[in-house]
Amino acid sequence: METVQNRIPLLGEKMPDITIQTTHGVKNIPGDYAGKWIVLFSHPGDFTPVCTTEFVAFANRNEKFKELNAELIGLSIDQVFSHIKWVEWIQDNLKVNIPFPIIADDMGRVAEKLGMIHPGKGTNTVRAVFIMDPQGLIRLMIYYPQEIGRQVDEVLRALKALQYADANKVAMPENWPNNEILKDKVIIPPPKDMAGVEDRKQYEGPDWWFKYKSLN
């Protein structure tokens, strides 16, 4: 009988359904978040300095994620008791409330499904970020090593860019909306045929394959 290997999911694949214990009770993901975007992020372990700085940054931007119809969910291979105590420590010592749930993946089932465990790092999860759309499809993945903390504003920017791209059928330049060349303008996707070349002549840009416009 062939063994099914766990692997990193592909962009565009559906997030596998999971029912898991969190600091906010039992959750079904993505089922409990139907109609919302999900930002699921893993950290190597509770009570670690880099992870603590990341959780504070995510917590401080929680309302900005909610404004984009997105919910934050943390994860590590720790028991829920450890998560709760860590959340309390952050509240007591750093005066920051962690408003989002943290998955207690103490058996590693979720981390293995999503390719979050590095074979050279024991049972610790890597610093992964998964952004899922309201249909439960994985739209973006970012992986960091344990030694480097994430830039949470980049996660927020990427989420906003994905939503604008979907809504307007456009592509987003580097560091949108603060691109060095285009500023906050967006890119018209390349044409698929000659008729598309003619259609793109109405937009500004140096050539037919490089056209852009303002969303305002």
Phi/psi of residue 90, nearest 5 degrees: -65, -40
How open is the CA angle 48-52-55, to the nearest 5 degrees?
140
For residues 146 and 116, the answer to whether their CB atoms sit within 8 Å is no
Q: Which residue shows structure tokens 């999971």?
A: 18
Q: Is 51 part of the annotated catalytic residue set? A: yes
Annotated catalytic residue within 15, 20, 29, 51: 51
Distance of CA 121 to the CA centre of its chain: 22
Look at residues 36, 40, 54 and name the one whose alpha carbon lies nearest to residue 9.
40
Which region holds residue 169: left if phi is over 0, alpha if psi is between -120 and 50, else beta?
left
Active site residues: 51
